[in-house]
């Protein structure tokens, strides 16, 4: 389906989704225990303006189910699913 084939309401909904989408990415340096993240991650987790935290700060702000899995992943005890979605 092409955008031009959508109704006005459908095109408006797509515009709203695009407008509110926030890119979110992070990286963790095990050597220095530095967790770097984009503004999108800061907004999702409520980190404020800080752009660098320890990994424990990140885990403490994460839901327990996801925090355990994230910790295991970084320790090599878990793997990303084949579809990339946890």
Taking 60 as the threshold, does the pLDDT of residue 84 lie above it? no
CATH number at residue 28: 3.30.450
Which residue(s) pair with 55 in the sheet? none
Asked if residue 7 is part of any domain, the answer here is: no
Q: Total domain count for the chain?
A: 1
Predicted confidence (pLDDT) per residue in 6-63, tens digit: 788 888 888 887 777 777 787 888 888 888 888 888 887 887 766 678 878 888 888 8
For 23, counting Cβ atoms within 10 Å of its Cβ (0-12 exposed, 13-18 middle, 19+ buried), the class is: exposed
The pTM of the full predicted model, rounded to 2 decimals, is: 0.50
Mean pLDDT of 62-76: 77
Q: Domain span at residue 33?
A: 23-86
pLDDT for 80: 60
- Radius of gyration in angstroms for the set of CA atoms belonging to the chain, rounded to a whole number: 17
């Amino acid at each position: 389906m092409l955008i031009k084939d959508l109704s006005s309401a459908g095109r408006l909904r797509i515009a709203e989704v695009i407008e509110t989408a926030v890119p979110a990415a992070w990286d963790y340096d095990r050597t220095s225990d530095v967790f770097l993240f984009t503004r999108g991650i800061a907004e999702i987790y409520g980190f404020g303006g800080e752009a660098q935290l320890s990994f424990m700060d990140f885990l403490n702000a994460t839901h327990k189910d996801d925090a355990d899995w994230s910790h295991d992943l970084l320790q090599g005890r878990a793997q990303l699913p084949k579809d990339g979605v946890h």
